[in-house]
Amino acid sequence: MKADLHCHTHLSDGQHTPAFVIERARANLVTHLAITDHDVSQALPQAMGYQDLKLINGVEISCLWEAFEIHIVGLFVDPTNTHLQTLLSTQQVRRRERVAQIDAKLTALGTAGLLPNLLAKPAVALTRSHVADFLVANNVCKNRQKAFKTYLNRSGKLFVAAQWCDHTEATGAIKAAGGIPVLAHPGRYAMNKTKLNRLLECFTAAGGEGLEASYPNIAPDMNQYLMRLAVEHGLYLSTGSDFHDAAAHWTDVGKFPTLDRAAAQRGIWHHPTWKQHDNTQPPARLKTL
């Protein structure tokens, strides 16, 4: 069994359709796939009939903990749940409002058309990555990295602070929808170990149940540290590629570091909700491509 529990499609900031990601997963021998678009959760019934792939309805919610933006993945969520969809709709409105503010700033700098361009895309959740791509396409800057550094980061010319929900709202909505809340890529947050420990205390107190400990480019020492934190805080371990684009060399669907045998015993596939949805035997180890 190979479980990729974090990936994106063009419904948020991914480059591909859900069908493409599903076929990519099948080609890469992924057996369990969660599509976790930013602030979007839609049912994908066309994949339910596959014998070689179990599709998990998911979401990745942007939210705030203290002054930090964090991301919480929800696995096995019911995409028709009113509580969840109300929160996601609010998040999507906040995203459009932020893009409108960025559009006004960009127009004042001499480049118009950002908001109409983004609204014409298939994305339900508009992101800064979409803005960065627009800046590159309109020769405002040469690449995404420059777009973020010069224009979109906190000191950038187009910076607009996000107005995300609180982490307790995100966790509560996931739980209300029958899902498992998982803290995404904890090693990527700009916080020290004391802060990270405090975050996990608050996350578990709010109902958080999982910790993403294996994802692309994670340092081996961080991988081991997160596994220890999962034990200390009583969290299940999750894994995911954070796939966005087949052209990206650093990731692919199903590609992430292997959990060792001991860590796999804390895998999210041992969670009761997982077992309710799937009778596949859990792996002793997860293999990468």
Q: Are residues 21 and 66 in the same domain?
A: yes
Q: What is the pLDDT of residue 45?
A: 58
Q: Are residues 182 and 256 in the same domain?
A: yes
Is 19 domain-assigned? yes
Q: How far apart, in whole angstroms, are the C-alpha atoms of residue 75 and residue 87? A: 16
Q: Which amino acid is at 242?
A: D
Q: Are residues 119 and 32 in the same domain?
A: no
Is 73 domain-assigned? yes
SS (H, E, C) 22-85: HHHHHHCCCCEEEECCECCCCCCHHHCCCCCCEEEEEEEEEEEECCEEEEEEEECCCCCCHHHH
**Continuous segment of H or E residues that includes residue 141:** none
Q: Are residues 208 and 269 in the same domain?
A: yes
Q: What is the pLDDT of residue 10?
A: 96
Q: Are residues 203 and 256 in the same domain?
A: yes
Is 122 domain-assigned? yes
In the beta sheet, which residues pair with residue 68?
65
Domain count, the chain: 2
Is 285 domain-assigned? no
User: Which residue do the tokens 């540290």 mark?
Assistant: 225
CB 47 within 8 A of CB 159: no
Q: Are residues 218 and 253 in the same domain?
A: yes
Question: 115: domain CATH number?
Answer: 1.10.150.650
Q: What is the pLDDT of residue 171?
A: 99
Is 219 domain-assigned? yes
Q: What is the pLDDT of residue 280?
A: 54
Per-residue pLDDT of the chain (289 residues; tens, 9 = 90+): 899 999 999 999 999 999 999 999 999 999 999 999 999 998 775 555 688 899 999 999 999 999 999 999 999 999 999 999 999 999 999 999 999 999 999 999 999 999 999 999 999 999 999 999 999 999 999 999 999 999 999 999 999 999 999 999 999 999 999 999 999 999 999 999 999 999 999 999 999 999 999 999 999 999 999 999 999 999 999 999 999 999 988 889 999 998 888 889 999 999 999 999 886 544 444 433 3
Would the pTM count as exceeding 0.85? yes
Q: Are residues 63 and 121 in the same domain?
A: no
**Is 119 in a helix, a strand, or coil?**
helix
Question: 41: domain CATH number?
Answer: 3.20.20.140
Q: Are residues 75 and 103 in the same domain?
A: no
Structural domain ending residue among the three candidates 100, 117, 152: 152
Q: What is the pLDDT of residue 278?
A: 80
Is 158 domain-assigned? no
Q: Structural domain of residue 239, as residue ranges? A: 3-81+171-277
Is 34 domain-assigned? yes
CB 61 within 8 A of CB 77: no
